[in-house]
Amino acid sequence: MSELMGPEELEAALRAIGAARYHNRHPFHALLHGGKLTKSQVQAWALNRYYYQAIIPLKDAAILSRAPDREFRRAWRQRIVDHDGDEAADGGIERWLRLTDALGFQRDYVLSGEGLLPATRFAVEAYLHFVRERSLLEAVASSLTELFAPAIISERVAGMLASYDFIGREALGYFDKRLSQAPRDANFAIEYVKREARLPHQQQAVLRALEFKCDVLWAQLDGLYHAYVAPGHVPPGAFRPEEAAP
């Protein structure tokens, strides 16, 4: 039986999970921001990561659809606006597509999901199923990887701009926005979790939810590394840089 933690102790335990398991520790991340990847490898990353971006509003809508509190919903719905855009701003999905544009992909190909690694599809959809099936508290906790996003984004943007002449500042607009959005969202979610996880089994569930989400991110980079960094392992049906550019 686990003991009840105070709110600050719970936050420290969550941050310890991020320190150990967030995907900034993955070798693919080091290659990406260190400028060690070929253009094809960066293409594969952007193409696969698009699928994760595309599912974020569905994930947030699933959370909205389960939240009985109006104030909660008013705050959470901003995430959907941020990703899908509105009259005033394009939104995160559109900004991600500018990156895949800049990398030379046709939008139809990116949107179709053709060429995705099955590992990407399985990991991303596992996230969607998790927020639909687990408690609201766990669903909110699984968003807490955003606590660790600003550091990785800064590294990534600086490293990519310095290293890849095929990527310009405007192609990385997605990340500029996330630098302010992620802390705002993460702050709301961590306060919610610290307030609502009042029993030891709830606190444990919150910790497991964040581990799960770290696994979702890590498994995506594992799939990319295996398919596109280690030689010769692109699975059947997935994007192959050596074939005619899609």
Is residue 6 involved in binding a copy of itself (CB under 8 A)?
no
3-class DSSP assignment, residue 191: helix
Q: Which is nearer to a copy of itself, 137 or 214 (CB)?
A: 214
The least CB distance from residue 28 to a copy of itself, in Å, is 10
User: Which range binds a copy of itself by CB under 8 A, 8-16, 76-84, 116-124, 165-173?
Assistant: 116-124
The least CB distance from residue 160 to a copy of itself, in Å, is 23
128: which 2 tokens?
């969607």
Q: Which is nearer to a copy of itself, 192 or 218 (CB)?
A: 218
DSSP letters for 23-55: GGGSHHHHHHHTT-S-HHHHHHHHHHHHHHHHH
User: Which range binds a copy of itself by CB under 8 A, 6-14, 20-28, 56-64, 98-106?
Assistant: 20-28
Q: Which is nearer to a copy of itself, 113 or 200 (CB)?
A: 113
Is residue 219 involved in binding a copy of itself (CB under 8 A)?
yes
Residue 123: half-sphere exposure toward Cβ, Cα within 13 Å? 23
The least CB distance from residue 152 to a copy of itself, in Å, is 16
Residue in this structure with the two tokens 């005033």, named with its chain if needed: 88
Q: In sequence order, which residues have a C-beta less than 8 Å from that of residue 131 and are 6 or more positions away?
A: 59, 62, 63, 139, 142
13: which 2 tokens?
């335990």
Is residue 237 involved in binding a copy of itself (CB under 8 A)?
yes
With beta carbons less than 8 A apart as the criterion, state whether 17 and 207 touch.
Answer: yes
Task: Locate all alpha helices (DSSP H) within the chain, ordered by sequence.
Answer: 7-21, 27-33, 39-64, 70-84, 92-102, 107-112, 118-133, 136-141, 149-163, 173-196, 200-224
The least CB distance from residue 127 to a copy of itself, in Å, is 9
Residues forming the site for a copy of itself (CB under 8 A):
20-21, 27, 118-119, 121-123, 125-126, 129, 211, 214-216, 218-219, 222-223, 225-227, 230, 232-233, 235-237
